[in-house]
């Protein structure tokens, strides 16, 4: 297996909806598979999860299942077939319209129209269609079409300054959450998060002993304002640049991306950078130079993971797109600089702050982190040392959760009962792992906690030589 510190998330869709396609994507380098419940049916989701678990067994490495909730997305109404909007024409968006046509449409959350001001730009279908508000009218607005095209039913509706009025978990989301719990998914991406409350509301729907990660999708202006509290509450975030770029001025997105990644690295929370990363590979076998630079810059920003959406869900070259991601990671990740961040000196923080530095100073080849919950490995990971981190745990949930973390290669082992067993296992993994198998004379660093089998007990650094 090639060392690939930055993780790859791939969306499953019509182009990858077979067991063989999922296996090929995993072989190409996918770590996390995303199932988008805005489109996937219950039956499709169940099939995909089963296929992912089969691929996991076939390849002998953990693969992670992430369900992406539709959320309270603002969408336009149903639209009559073959409705085309022409540049320059007038168009009404109204609370009263149930089925739209070339003259106007409705929206599924009518109260948001109250927020629209004269001069505001409206984006439909991820910006494929653009309008500008001319005036407010009773129960809506009248606008001019700036960019026309085919108006499709129930597509996304966005405008700068809009805020969602409905914060409760939708019925559609509740059904998806129940299915993901039933099928043993590893993570849930929560859409259109605006504050910590949305994460708390979803967490309340999970069983009390659930290990499912909650990933906050950062795609609204309000989520940027409340980023600190959201990152604190969530288990990780996704910088969902598509909707984010429609709800704030698009020129602000690159800097916000950097700030959100930095916040997550400091908090040792996984961060995924998403949307249009290799968009041209939906239809072409090679990406644009700008797309390659975009992926590279996200890596240099220290993102934990990069995500493919339509590229693997609908594109002609799903596996080739993943392989291109792997090539970019291989070229760029070695230039990510070490992140020096010190926080209050608990014993576990002091240990995880020091492991990578010690490994560098002794010219070590590997870090082996024993971890029950995954927290130790994530805290070592946030410093972005170049040494591979093999995270050892007896817990399947921990192993799969760590597939989101930079430079961490999770591996399941038997429960450890004493120091001697720990040392024996560490040496065995150091010599026989698929990432960086060590030979005689190679040095490596062990991080562990005593007593064994308890979370939050990291208190030991041990340097060993093969």
Residues annotated as catalytic are 34, 75, 217, 275
Provide the β-strand partners of residue 390: 368, 409
E strand intervals along 38-117: 64-68, 78-79, 84-85, 90-94, 99-100, 104-105
**Cα–Cα distance between 334 and 106 in angstroms, integer?**
50
- The length of the chain, given as a count of residues: 466
d(CA 466, CA 464): 7
Sequence-distant (6+) residues with CB within 8 A of 226 are: 194, 195, 196
* 334's tokens: 């070695």
389, 406 Cβ separation under 8 angstroms: no
CA distances 191 to 72, 105, 210, 299, Å, are 7, 24, 20, 23
CB 283 within 8 A of CB 315: yes
Reading the block at residue 98, the tokens are 């149930």
The answer to whether residues 37 and 150 touch, using CB atoms and an 8 Å cutoff, is no
**Cβ neighbours of 460 (radius 10 Å):** 15
Q: Are strands 129-137 and 121-124 parallel, antiparallel or unpaired?
A: antiparallel
CB-based burial of residue 64 (10 Å sphere; 0-12 exposed, 13-18 middle, 19+ buried)?
Answer: buried
Q: DSSP readout, 372-410? A: SSSHHHHHHHTT--SS-EEEEES-HHHHHHGGGSTTEEE
């Amino acid at each position: 297996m090639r060392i690939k510190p930055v993780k790859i998330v791939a969306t499953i869709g019509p182009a990858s909806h077979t067991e063989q396609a999922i296996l090929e994507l995993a072989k190409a380098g996918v770590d996390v598979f995303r199932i988008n419940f805005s489109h996937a049916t219950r039956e499709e989701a169940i099939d995909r999860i089963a296929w992912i678990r089969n691929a996991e067994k076939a390849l002998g490495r953990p693969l992670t299942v992430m369900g992406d909730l539709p959320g309270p997305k603002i969408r336009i109404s149903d639209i009559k077939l073959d409705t085309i909007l022409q540049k320059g024409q007038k168009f009404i968006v109204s609370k009263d319209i149930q089925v739209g046509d070339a003259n106007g449409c409705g929206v599924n959350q009518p109260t948001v129209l109250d927020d629209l001001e004269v001069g505001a730009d409206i984006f439909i279908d991820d910006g494929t269609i653009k309008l500008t508000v001319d005036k407010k009218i009773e129960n809506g607005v009248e606008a001019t079409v700036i960019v026309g095209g085919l108006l499709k039913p129930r597509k996304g509706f966005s405008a700068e300054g809009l805020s969602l009025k409905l914060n409760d978990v939708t019925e559609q989301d509740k059904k998806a959450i129940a299915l993901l719990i039933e099928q043993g998914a590893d993570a849930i991406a929560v859409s259109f998060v605006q504050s910590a409350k949305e994460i708390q509301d979803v967490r309340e729907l999970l069983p009390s002993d659930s290990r499912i990660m909650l990933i906050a999708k950062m795609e609204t202006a309000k989520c940027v304002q409340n980023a600190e509290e959201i990152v604190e509450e969530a288990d990780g975030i996704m910088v969902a640049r598509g909707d984010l770029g429609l709800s704030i001025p698009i020129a602000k997105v690159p800097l916000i991306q950097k700030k959100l990644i930095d916040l997550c690295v400091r908090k040792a929370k996984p961060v995924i950078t998403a949307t249009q990363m290799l968009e041209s590979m939906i239809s072409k076998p090679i990406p644009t130079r700008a797309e390659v630079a975009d992926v590279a810059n996200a890596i240099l920003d220290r993102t934990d993971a990069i995500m493919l959406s339509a590229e693997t869900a609908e594109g002609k070259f799903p596996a080739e797109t993943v392989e291109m991601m792997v090539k970019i990671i291989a070229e760029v990740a070695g230039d990510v600089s070490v992140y020096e961040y010190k926080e209050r000196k608990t014993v576990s923080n002091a240990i995880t702050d020091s492991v990578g530095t010690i490994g560098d100073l002794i010219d070590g080849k590997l870090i082996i982190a024993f971890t029950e919950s995954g927290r130790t490995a994530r805290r070592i990971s946030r410093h972005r040392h170049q040494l591979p981190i093999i995270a050892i745990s007896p817990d399947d949930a921990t192993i799969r959760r760590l597939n989101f973390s930079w430079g961490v290669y999770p591996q399941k082992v038997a429960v450890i009962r004493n120091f001697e067993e720990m040392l024996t296992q560490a040496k065995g993994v150091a010599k026989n792992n698929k990432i960086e198998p060590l030979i005689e004379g190679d040095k490596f660093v062990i991080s562990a906690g005593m007593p064994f089998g308890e979370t939050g007990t990291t208190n030991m650094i041990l340097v060993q030589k093969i």
